[in-house]
Amino acid sequence: MSEFVTFFWVIVAGATVGFIFDFYRSFRHWQGWGRVLTFIGDVLFSLVALFILFRFFERANALAFRFYIIWGSLLGLFLYLRILSRFSVRCFFGIYWVMKYLADLIHRGIKIPIRGLIFIMRPPYAILHWFSLLLYRIGEFILVEPISRMKRRVKDWWRRLLPPNING
């Protein structure tokens, strides 16, 4: 390959790393990550950037290390950051806004049938609630009173079985 084509691929590698960095930076800002997630994301970004540079350097000159690949990568990164970075960050935030809008729209669309079902089921639920309270009160009247009377009788019977307390 000619030196011009090799240098071109090295510049593209730097610009690609800049593009991925802008995506990562805008996503991190949009999500509002804390320090721990930012650290983990930075490590993952570094690994992704290393992989991208490896693939482009492999394509450019079969991983033959030359000093100009470092300068070319930095030149590509610098050109990208100066020329295209603002535009791509705005595009990323626009894409995030559209994704959030569509997710909210889908969420509202899913909530409509659920709200309808809640509205339809409210009267039967109220009837069941009233009926269950009625059964509870009837059961309380039928069961609790005899049980408490039986408990009182057992205590009285137990007291009659025990000898009287002389000390107290």
CB-neighbour burial class of residue 32 (10 A; exposed 0-12, middle 13-18, buried 19+): exposed
Q: Where are the alpha helices (DSSP H) in 32-144?
A: 35-61, 67-83, 85-139
pLDDT surpasses 60 at 168? no
- CB atoms inside a 10 Å sphere around CB 139: 10
Closest CA to 28 of 18, 40, 16: 40
Closest CA to 3 of 80, 49, 64: 64
Going from N- to C-terminal start, the domains of the chain cover: 3-83
Render pLDDT for 83-122 as a digit per residue (tens, 0 to 9): 999 999 999 999 999 999 999 999 999 998 888 888 899 9
Highest mean pLDDT among 34-48, 62-76, 153-167: 34-48
CA-CA distance, 28 to 21, in Å (whole number)?
10
Quick check: pTM over 0.85? Answer: no
CA atoms within 13 A on the CB side of 8: 5
